[in-house]
Protein backbone atom coordinates (compact mmCIF):
# COMPACT_ATOMS: atom_id res chain seq x y z
CA UNK A 1 0.00 0.00 0.00
CA UNK A 2 1.27 3.47 -0.87
CA UNK A 3 0.59 6.77 0.94
CA UNK A 4 -2.19 7.96 -1.36
CA UNK A 5 -4.10 4.71 -0.74
CA UNK A 6 -3.49 4.97 2.99
CA UNK A 7 -4.76 8.56 3.17
CA UNK A 8 -8.18 7.47 1.94
CA UNK A 9 -8.52 5.23 4.95
CA UNK A 10 -6.93 7.45 7.58
CA UNK A 11 -10.10 9.44 8.49
CA UNK A 12 -12.00 6.23 9.29
CA UNK A 13 -8.99 4.65 10.99
CA UNK A 14 -8.65 7.67 13.30
CA UNK A 15 -12.15 7.07 14.64
CA UNK A 16 -11.82 3.25 14.72
CA UNK A 17 -14.41 2.87 11.98
CA UNK A 18 -12.31 0.95 9.49
CA UNK A 19 -13.00 -2.72 8.79
CA UNK A 20 -10.65 -5.26 10.37
CA UNK A 21 -9.05 -6.24 7.07
CA UNK A 22 -8.36 -2.65 5.99
CA UNK A 23 -7.20 -1.82 9.50
CA UNK A 24 -4.55 -4.53 9.29
CA UNK A 25 -3.35 -3.38 5.88
CA UNK A 26 -3.14 0.24 6.99
CA UNK A 27 -1.28 -0.66 10.16
CA UNK A 28 1.31 -2.52 8.10
CA UNK A 29 1.83 0.65 6.08
CA UNK A 30 2.00 2.81 9.20
CA UNK A 31 4.81 0.66 10.59
CA UNK A 32 7.11 2.02 7.90
CA UNK A 33 5.54 5.44 7.09
CA UNK A 34 6.04 8.21 9.63
CA UNK A 35 4.30 10.81 7.46
CA UNK A 36 0.98 8.95 7.49
CA UNK A 37 1.40 8.36 11.22
CA UNK A 38 1.70 12.12 11.77
CA UNK A 39 -1.39 12.69 9.71
CA UNK A 40 -3.35 10.34 11.94
CA UNK A 41 -2.11 12.12 15.05
CA UNK A 42 -3.17 15.46 13.61
CA UNK A 43 -6.58 14.17 12.69
CA UNK A 44 -7.13 12.65 16.12
CA UNK A 45 -6.06 15.89 17.78
CA UNK A 46 -8.47 17.89 15.61
CA UNK A 47 -11.35 15.53 16.36
CA UNK A 48 -10.59 15.57 20.09
CA UNK A 49 -10.49 19.37 19.99
CA UNK A 50 -13.88 19.62 18.34
CA UNK A 51 -15.32 17.06 20.75
CA UNK A 52 -13.96 19.00 23.70
CA UNK A 53 -15.57 22.19 22.43
CA UNK A 54 -18.84 20.37 21.82
CA UNK A 55 -18.86 18.88 25.31
CA UNK A 56 -18.62 22.38 26.80
CA UNK A 57 -21.36 23.65 24.56
CA UNK A 58 -24.87 22.61 25.43
CA UNK A 59 -28.08 24.55 25.36
CA UNK A 60 -31.24 23.76 27.25
CA UNK A 61 -34.84 24.83 27.22
CA UNK A 62 -35.78 27.67 29.57
CA UNK A 63 -38.00 26.00 32.16
CA UNK A 64 -41.08 28.08 31.34
CA UNK A 65 -40.82 27.29 27.64
CA UNK A 66 -40.37 23.60 28.38
CA UNK A 67 -43.47 23.52 30.57
CA UNK A 68 -45.44 25.37 27.90
CA UNK A 69 -44.28 22.88 25.28
CA UNK A 70 -45.20 19.88 27.44
CA UNK A 71 -48.62 21.38 28.14
CA UNK A 72 -49.12 21.82 24.41
CA UNK A 73 -48.07 18.28 23.67
CA UNK A 74 -50.27 16.79 26.38
CA UNK A 75 -53.32 18.64 25.08
CA UNK A 76 -53.12 16.48 21.96
CA UNK A 77 -53.83 12.80 21.62
CA UNK A 78 -51.40 10.27 20.22
CA UNK A 79 -52.57 8.66 17.04
CA UNK A 80 -54.13 5.27 17.45
CA UNK A 81 -51.74 2.43 16.97
CA UNK A 82 -52.03 1.03 13.47
CA UNK A 83 -54.18 -2.05 13.79
CA UNK A 84 -53.31 -4.75 11.38
CA UNK A 85 -53.93 -8.46 11.75
CA UNK A 86 -50.38 -9.01 10.53
CA UNK A 87 -48.86 -5.99 12.23
CA UNK A 88 -47.95 -7.90 15.37
CA UNK A 89 -45.77 -10.27 13.39
CA UNK A 90 -42.39 -8.76 12.63
CA UNK A 91 -41.08 -8.69 9.08
CA UNK A 92 -38.31 -11.11 9.91
CA UNK A 93 -40.86 -13.67 11.09
CA UNK A 94 -42.69 -13.35 7.78
CA UNK A 95 -39.46 -13.82 5.85
CA UNK A 96 -38.44 -16.87 7.89
CA UNK A 97 -41.92 -18.37 7.59
CA UNK A 98 -41.94 -17.94 3.83
CA UNK A 99 -38.45 -19.42 3.55
CA UNK A 100 -39.47 -22.47 5.61
CA UNK A 101 -42.58 -23.02 3.49
CA UNK A 102 -40.48 -22.81 0.30
CA UNK A 103 -37.83 -25.21 1.60
CA UNK A 104 -40.42 -27.72 2.82
CA UNK A 105 -42.27 -27.50 -0.50
CA UNK A 106 -39.13 -28.07 -2.54
CA UNK A 107 -38.07 -30.94 -0.27
CA UNK A 108 -41.51 -32.53 -0.64
CA UNK A 109 -41.27 -32.33 -4.43
CA UNK A 110 -37.79 -33.87 -4.43
CA UNK A 111 -38.81 -36.68 -2.06
CA UNK A 112 -41.90 -37.36 -4.10
CA UNK A 113 -39.86 -37.73 -7.26
CA UNK A 114 -37.40 -40.05 -5.49
CA UNK A 115 -39.91 -42.25 -3.69
CA UNK A 116 -42.63 -42.30 -6.32
CA UNK A 117 -44.40 -45.67 -6.05
CA UNK A 118 -43.60 -47.96 -8.93
CA UNK A 119 -46.35 -48.37 -11.49
CA UNK A 120 -48.82 -51.08 -10.55
CA UNK A 121 -47.69 -54.35 -12.04
CA UNK A 122 -49.59 -55.53 -15.01
CA UNK A 123 -52.19 -58.14 -14.33
CA UNK A 124 -50.37 -60.41 -16.67
CA UNK A 125 -47.28 -60.06 -14.50
CA UNK A 126 -48.90 -61.14 -11.29
CA UNK A 127 -50.84 -64.03 -12.60
CA UNK A 128 -49.52 -67.45 -13.06
CA UNK A 129 -48.65 -68.81 -16.41
CA UNK A 130 -51.64 -70.73 -17.52
CA UNK A 131 -53.60 -71.30 -20.67
CA UNK A 132 -56.69 -69.25 -20.14
CA UNK A 133 -59.31 -71.78 -20.93
CA UNK A 134 -62.81 -70.52 -20.67
CA UNK A 135 -64.52 -72.18 -17.80
CA UNK A 136 -68.11 -72.39 -16.84
CA UNK A 137 -67.14 -72.11 -13.23
CA UNK A 138 -65.92 -68.61 -13.77
CA UNK A 139 -68.19 -65.68 -13.43
CA UNK A 140 -69.23 -64.12 -16.67
CA UNK A 141 -69.31 -60.43 -16.70
CA UNK A 142 -71.45 -58.83 -19.35
CA UNK A 143 -69.94 -55.75 -20.89
CA UNK A 144 -72.15 -52.64 -20.87
CA UNK A 145 -72.15 -52.59 -24.66
CA UNK A 146 -74.04 -55.86 -24.56
CA UNK A 147 -77.15 -54.29 -23.14
CA UNK A 148 -78.55 -53.82 -26.61
CA UNK A 149 -77.97 -57.02 -28.53
CA UNK A 150 -79.15 -55.45 -31.76
CA UNK A 151 -76.25 -53.11 -31.91
CA UNK A 152 -73.61 -55.72 -31.29
CA UNK A 153 -74.00 -59.09 -32.87
CA UNK A 154 -72.04 -60.94 -30.23
CA UNK A 155 -71.60 -61.10 -26.47
CA UNK A 156 -68.29 -60.78 -24.74
CA UNK A 157 -67.57 -63.22 -21.99
CA UNK A 158 -65.05 -61.60 -19.72
CA UNK A 159 -63.53 -63.79 -17.10
CA UNK A 160 -62.44 -62.24 -13.92
CA UNK A 161 -58.71 -62.49 -13.75
CA UNK A 162 -58.47 -63.01 -10.02
CA UNK A 163 -60.81 -65.94 -10.01
CA UNK A 164 -59.12 -67.41 -13.01
CA UNK A 165 -55.87 -67.09 -11.20
CA UNK A 166 -57.14 -68.76 -8.05
CA UNK A 167 -58.77 -71.54 -9.93
CA UNK A 168 -55.66 -72.17 -11.92
CA UNK A 169 -53.47 -72.03 -8.89
CA UNK A 170 -55.64 -74.56 -7.14
CA UNK A 171 -55.42 -76.90 -10.08
CA UNK A 172 -51.78 -76.65 -11.00
CA UNK A 173 -48.47 -76.55 -9.17
CA UNK A 174 -47.85 -73.34 -7.30
CA UNK A 175 -45.26 -71.26 -9.16
CA UNK A 176 -42.70 -69.28 -7.21
CA UNK A 177 -43.77 -66.01 -8.72
CA UNK A 178 -47.30 -65.21 -9.77
CA UNK A 179 -47.28 -64.26 -13.41
CA UNK A 180 -49.75 -64.65 -16.24
CA UNK A 181 -48.48 -65.60 -19.63
CA UNK A 182 -51.76 -66.09 -21.39
CA UNK A 183 -55.11 -64.43 -21.32
CA UNK A 184 -58.22 -65.52 -23.18
CA UNK A 185 -61.29 -63.73 -24.47
CA UNK A 186 -64.40 -65.40 -25.87
CA UNK A 187 -66.89 -63.61 -28.09
CA UNK A 188 -70.35 -65.23 -28.50
CA UNK A 189 -72.67 -64.12 -31.27
CA UNK A 190 -76.20 -63.45 -30.06
CA UNK A 191 -77.76 -64.31 -33.38
CA UNK A 192 -75.88 -67.30 -34.61
CA UNK A 193 -74.35 -68.62 -31.39
CA UNK A 194 -70.90 -68.52 -32.95
CA UNK A 195 -68.12 -68.39 -30.43
CA UNK A 196 -64.73 -66.86 -31.16
CA UNK A 197 -62.01 -67.63 -28.67
CA UNK A 198 -58.96 -65.37 -28.57
CA UNK A 199 -55.89 -66.30 -26.64
CA UNK A 200 -53.24 -63.65 -25.97
CA UNK A 201 -49.72 -64.55 -24.98
CA UNK A 202 -47.40 -62.46 -22.84
CA UNK A 203 -46.44 -60.28 -25.79
CA UNK A 204 -50.09 -59.73 -26.64
CA UNK A 205 -49.85 -61.80 -29.75
CA UNK A 206 -53.11 -63.55 -30.20
CA UNK A 207 -54.47 -66.72 -31.67
CA UNK A 208 -57.99 -67.18 -32.82
CA UNK A 209 -59.92 -70.38 -32.24
CA UNK A 210 -63.35 -71.11 -33.61
CA UNK A 211 -64.90 -74.05 -31.87
CA UNK B 1 -43.86 4.35 29.95
CA UNK B 2 -44.75 4.32 26.28
CA UNK B 3 -47.63 2.02 27.12
CA UNK B 4 -48.84 4.43 29.80
CA UNK B 5 -48.93 7.32 27.34
CA UNK B 6 -50.71 5.21 24.75
CA UNK B 7 -53.10 4.05 27.44
CA UNK B 8 -54.24 7.65 27.89
CA UNK B 9 -51.92 8.85 30.66
CA UNK B 10 -50.37 11.68 28.67
CA UNK B 11 -48.60 13.07 31.72
CA UNK B 12 -46.17 10.13 31.40
CA UNK B 13 -44.79 11.66 28.21
CA UNK B 14 -42.83 14.33 30.04
CA UNK B 15 -40.66 11.96 32.10
CA UNK B 16 -40.23 9.88 28.95
CA UNK B 17 -38.64 12.70 26.93
CA UNK B 18 -37.07 14.87 29.64
CA UNK B 19 -33.72 12.97 29.55
CA UNK B 20 -33.40 13.98 25.88
CA UNK B 21 -34.51 17.61 25.99
CA UNK B 22 -30.95 18.99 26.00
CA UNK B 23 -29.73 16.51 23.44
CA UNK B 24 -32.51 17.34 20.97
CA UNK B 25 -32.15 21.09 21.34
CA UNK B 26 -28.35 21.08 21.15
CA UNK B 27 -28.26 18.77 18.13
CA UNK B 28 -30.87 20.90 16.37
CA UNK B 29 -28.82 23.97 17.13
CA UNK B 30 -25.65 22.40 15.74
CA UNK B 31 -27.49 21.48 12.61
CA UNK B 32 -29.22 24.78 11.89
CA UNK B 33 -26.98 27.16 13.89
CA UNK B 34 -29.83 29.26 15.23
CA UNK B 35 -31.41 29.02 18.67
CA UNK B 36 -34.95 29.91 17.65
CA UNK B 37 -34.83 27.59 14.68
CA UNK B 38 -33.42 24.87 16.93
CA UNK B 39 -36.29 25.32 19.35
CA UNK B 40 -38.75 25.05 16.51
CA UNK B 41 -37.13 21.85 15.23
CA UNK B 42 -36.94 20.38 18.70
CA UNK B 43 -40.54 21.28 19.46
CA UNK B 44 -41.77 19.76 16.22
CA UNK B 45 -39.74 16.64 17.00
CA UNK B 46 -41.45 16.23 20.36
CA UNK B 47 -44.88 16.87 18.91
CA UNK B 48 -44.33 14.26 16.22
CA UNK B 49 -42.89 11.82 18.75
CA UNK B 50 -46.05 12.17 20.84
CA UNK B 51 -48.31 11.91 17.85
CA UNK B 52 -46.67 8.83 16.36
CA UNK B 53 -45.74 7.13 19.61
CA UNK B 54 -48.04 4.25 18.67
CA UNK B 55 -45.81 3.36 15.75
CA UNK B 56 -42.63 3.26 17.86
CA UNK B 57 -41.04 -0.20 17.78
CA UNK B 58 -40.35 -1.15 21.43
CA UNK B 59 -37.36 -3.23 20.39
CA UNK B 60 -35.57 -0.14 19.09
CA UNK B 61 -33.80 2.55 21.04
CA UNK B 62 -36.14 5.39 21.98
CA UNK B 63 -33.25 7.83 21.80
CA UNK B 64 -32.38 6.80 18.25
CA UNK B 65 -36.04 7.03 17.30
CA UNK B 66 -36.19 10.61 18.58
CA UNK B 67 -32.98 11.47 16.71
CA UNK B 68 -34.44 10.00 13.56
CA UNK B 69 -37.54 12.19 13.88
CA UNK B 70 -35.38 15.23 14.52
CA UNK B 71 -33.30 14.56 11.40
CA UNK B 72 -36.49 14.31 9.36
CA UNK B 73 -37.80 17.55 10.83
CA UNK B 74 -34.47 19.27 10.23
CA UNK B 75 -34.44 18.15 6.63
CA UNK B 76 -38.00 19.29 6.01
CA UNK B 77 -37.81 22.58 7.92
CA UNK B 78 -34.27 23.75 8.21
CA UNK B 79 -31.90 22.20 5.72
CA UNK B 80 -32.79 24.37 2.77
CA UNK B 81 -32.58 27.60 4.70
CA UNK B 82 -29.28 26.55 6.21
CA UNK B 83 -27.87 25.78 2.78
CA UNK B 84 -28.77 29.25 1.64
CA UNK B 85 -26.92 30.72 4.56
CA UNK B 86 -29.89 32.65 5.92
CA UNK B 87 -29.91 30.92 9.26
CA UNK B 88 -26.29 31.75 9.78
CA UNK B 89 -27.08 35.44 9.36
CA UNK B 90 -30.03 35.13 11.69
CA UNK B 91 -27.87 33.38 14.25
CA UNK B 92 -25.37 36.20 14.29
CA UNK B 93 -28.17 38.71 14.69
CA UNK B 94 -29.85 36.77 17.43
CA UNK B 95 -26.64 36.15 19.25
CA UNK B 96 -26.09 39.85 19.61
CA UNK B 97 -29.55 40.42 21.04
CA UNK B 98 -30.34 37.26 22.92
CA UNK B 99 -29.00 37.21 26.50
CA UNK B 100 -29.47 33.43 26.75
CA UNK B 101 -26.98 32.88 23.98
CA UNK B 102 -24.48 35.18 25.59
CA UNK B 103 -24.71 33.07 28.71
CA UNK B 104 -24.16 29.89 26.75
CA UNK B 105 -20.75 31.05 25.64
CA UNK B 106 -20.57 32.61 22.23
CA UNK B 107 -16.92 32.05 21.65
CA UNK B 108 -17.00 28.28 22.15
CA UNK B 109 -20.10 27.98 20.05
CA UNK B 110 -18.72 30.07 17.24
CA UNK B 111 -15.59 27.97 17.07
CA UNK B 112 -17.59 24.79 16.71
CA UNK B 113 -20.00 26.37 14.26
CA UNK B 114 -17.10 27.60 12.16
CA UNK B 115 -15.82 24.04 11.91
CA UNK B 116 -19.24 22.69 10.99
CA UNK B 117 -19.73 25.45 8.44
CA UNK B 118 -17.31 23.84 6.05
CA UNK B 119 -19.31 20.61 5.88
CA UNK B 120 -22.17 19.77 3.56
CA UNK B 121 -25.54 19.12 5.31
CA UNK B 122 -25.15 15.35 5.00
CA UNK B 123 -21.54 15.42 6.21
CA UNK B 124 -22.62 17.57 9.14
CA UNK B 125 -25.40 15.15 10.10
CA UNK B 126 -23.08 12.16 9.96
CA UNK B 127 -20.27 13.93 11.81
CA UNK B 128 -22.54 15.19 14.59
CA UNK B 129 -24.18 11.83 15.14
CA UNK B 130 -21.03 9.72 14.98
CA UNK B 131 -18.31 11.96 16.40
CA UNK B 132 -20.18 14.33 18.69
CA UNK B 133 -23.17 12.26 19.85
CA UNK B 134 -21.24 9.01 19.83
CA UNK B 135 -23.62 6.89 17.79
CA UNK B 136 -21.90 4.01 16.00
CA UNK B 137 -21.94 3.59 12.23
CA UNK B 138 -24.94 1.27 12.25
CA UNK B 139 -26.99 3.51 14.52
CA UNK B 140 -26.05 6.56 12.47
CA UNK B 141 -27.17 4.80 9.30
CA UNK B 142 -30.44 3.84 11.03
CA UNK B 143 -31.13 7.38 12.27
CA UNK B 144 -30.39 8.87 8.84
CA UNK B 145 -32.13 6.02 7.03
CA UNK B 146 -29.20 5.41 4.79
CA UNK B 147 -26.62 2.69 4.24
CA UNK B 148 -23.54 2.13 6.38
CA UNK B 149 -21.39 2.58 3.28
CA UNK B 150 -22.88 6.01 2.68
CA UNK B 151 -22.25 6.92 6.32
CA UNK B 152 -18.60 5.83 6.04
CA UNK B 153 -18.09 7.82 2.86
CA UNK B 154 -19.57 11.03 4.31
CA UNK B 155 -17.83 10.53 7.64
CA UNK B 156 -14.47 10.11 5.96
CA UNK B 157 -14.96 13.31 3.98
CA UNK B 158 -16.24 15.19 7.03
CA UNK B 159 -13.26 14.21 9.19
CA UNK B 160 -10.77 15.14 6.50
CA UNK B 161 -12.45 18.55 6.13
CA UNK B 162 -12.58 19.10 9.89
CA UNK B 163 -8.88 18.36 10.15
CA UNK B 164 -8.08 20.90 7.45
CA UNK B 165 -10.41 23.53 8.97
CA UNK B 166 -9.05 23.14 12.48
CA UNK B 167 -5.48 23.12 11.26
CA UNK B 168 -6.05 26.24 9.21
CA UNK B 169 -8.31 28.32 11.48
CA UNK B 170 -7.84 27.01 15.02
CA UNK B 171 -4.39 25.45 15.34
CA UNK B 172 -4.60 26.09 19.07
CA UNK B 173 -7.43 23.62 19.32
CA UNK B 174 -5.13 20.85 18.08
CA UNK B 175 -2.24 21.92 20.28
CA UNK B 176 -4.45 21.72 23.34
CA UNK B 177 -5.23 18.06 22.62
CA UNK B 178 -1.66 16.83 22.08
A54-89 residue pLDDT tens? 877 778 888 888 888 888 887 777 665 555 555 556
Query: Residue A199 contacts by C-beta under 8 Å, 6 or more apart in sequence?
Result: A131, A132, A182, A183, A184, A185, A206, A207, A209
Domain with A16, as residue range(s), is 3-56
Kindly give the interhelix angle for B35-51 and A63-74, rounded to the nearest 10 degrees: 30
Q: Mark whether A52 and A127 lie in a shared domain.
A: no
Q: Does A8 touch chain B (CB under 8 A)?
A: yes
Question: Which strand (E) or helix (H) includes residue A34?
Answer: helix A34-56
A49 touches chain B (CB under 8 A): yes
Least confident of A124-133, B89-98, B103-112: B89-98
Chain-chain contact of B112 with A74 (C-beta, under 8 angstroms): no
Give the model's confidence band at A166: pLDDT under 50 very low, under 70 low, under 90 confident, else very high: low
Chain A CB contacts of B157 under 8 Å are: 11
**CATH 1.10.1740.10 region(s) of chain B?**
1-104
Q: What is the C-alpha separation between A85 and B91, in angstroms, rounded?
A: 49
Question: Among residues B81, B131, B74, which one has the least CA distance to residue A47?
Answer: B131
Q: Identify the closest residue of chain A to B171 by CA–CA distance.
A: A46
B105 with A56: Cβ contact below 8 A? yes
Please indicate whether, in this complex, the C-beta atoms of A70 and B167 are within 8 angstroms of each other. no
Q: What is the pLDDT of residues A3-19, one digit of tens each?
A: 888 888 889 998 888 88
* Residues above pLDDT 90, as percent of chain B: 11
Q: Choose the final residue of a domain: A12, A29, A56.
A: A56
Does residue A91 belong to any structural domain of this protein? no
- Domain topology for B111-178: Arc Repressor Mutant, subunit A (1.10.10)
Question: Does A114 reside within a domain?
Answer: no
Chain B interface, best mutation among A14, A18, A23, A45, by max B CB count within 10 A: A45
Number of structural domains chain A divides into: 2
d(CA A179, CA A162): 12
pLDDT reported for residue A197: 83
Query: Which DSSP string corresponds to B95-124?
Result: HHH-HHHHHH-HHHHHHHHHHHHTS-HHHH
Q: Is the ipTM of this complex over 0.85?
A: no
The DSSP letter of residue A207 is E
DSSP characters for A121-171?
PPHHHHSPP------TTSPEEE-GGGGSTTTSSEEEEEE-HHHHHHHHHHH
Q: Does A181 map to a domain?
A: yes
Residue at A30 is within a domain: yes
- Residue of higher predicted confidence among A200 and B103: A200
Q: Is residue A108 part of a domain?
A: no
**pLDDT confidence of residue A108:** 92
| pLDDT, greater one: A116 or B157 | B157
pLDDT at B115: 75
pLDDT tens across B34-51, in order? 888 888 888 889 888 888
Search chain A and give the residue with CA nearest B6: A78
A96 touches chain B (CB under 8 A): no
* CA gap B92, B13 in Å, rounded: 34
CATH of domain B1-104: 1.10.1740.10
Residue A95 neighbours by CB under 8 Å, 6+ apart: none
pLDDT of residue A138: 47
pLDDT at B91 exceeding the cut of 50: no
Residue of B84 and B19 predicted with greater confidence? B19
DSSP letter, residue B130: I
Rounded distance between C-alpha atoms, residue A45 and residue A86, angstroms: 51
The torsion defined by the Cα of B86, B89, B95 and B100, in degrees rounded to 10, comes to 0
Q: What pLDDT band is residue B155 in, cutting at 50, 70 and 90?
A: very high
CA separation for the pair A56, A76 (Å, rounded) = 35
| 3-class DSSP state of A75 | coil
Interface size between A and B, measured as CB pairs under 8 A: 136
Put simply, the answer to whether B167 touches A42 (Cβ < 8 Å) is yes
pLDDT at B100 over 50: yes
Contacts of B108 in chain A (CB under 8 A): 53, 56-57
Residues B44-74 have pLDDT tens digits of: 898 888 888 888 888 888 888 899 898 888 8
A residues 18-47 closer than 8 Å to B (CB): 41-47
What's the confidence (pLDDT) of residue A84? 53
A91 touches chain B (CB under 8 A): no
Distance from CA of B133 to the nearest CA of A (A): 9
Question: With an 8 Å Cβ cutoff, is A14 touching chain B?
Answer: yes
Report pLDDT for A129: 47
Where in chain B is CATH 1.10.10.10? Answer: 111-178
How close A102 gets to chain B, by Cα (Å)?
28
Q: Which residue has the higher pLDDT, B101 or B14?
A: B14
Domain-embedded: residue A19: yes
Cα of B166 to nearest chain A Cα, Å? 6
Contact A50 B39 (CB under 8 A): no
Residue A23 forms part of a structural domain:
yes
> What confidence score (pLDDT) does residue A137 get?
47
Closest CA to A202 of A185, A186, A180, A184: A180
Is A205 part of any domain? yes
Amino acid sequence: MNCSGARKWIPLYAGADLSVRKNRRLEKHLEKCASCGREIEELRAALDGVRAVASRESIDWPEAEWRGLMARVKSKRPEARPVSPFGAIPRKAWAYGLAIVLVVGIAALILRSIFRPAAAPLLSEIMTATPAQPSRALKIDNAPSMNNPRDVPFRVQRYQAERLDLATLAAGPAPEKATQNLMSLTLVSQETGLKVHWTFNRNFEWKEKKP
Amino acid sequence: MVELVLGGRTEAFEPLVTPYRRLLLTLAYRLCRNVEEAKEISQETLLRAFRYLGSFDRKRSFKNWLLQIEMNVWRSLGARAADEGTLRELAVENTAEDPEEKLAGNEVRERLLACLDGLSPREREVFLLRDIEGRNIKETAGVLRTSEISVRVHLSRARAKIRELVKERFPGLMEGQR
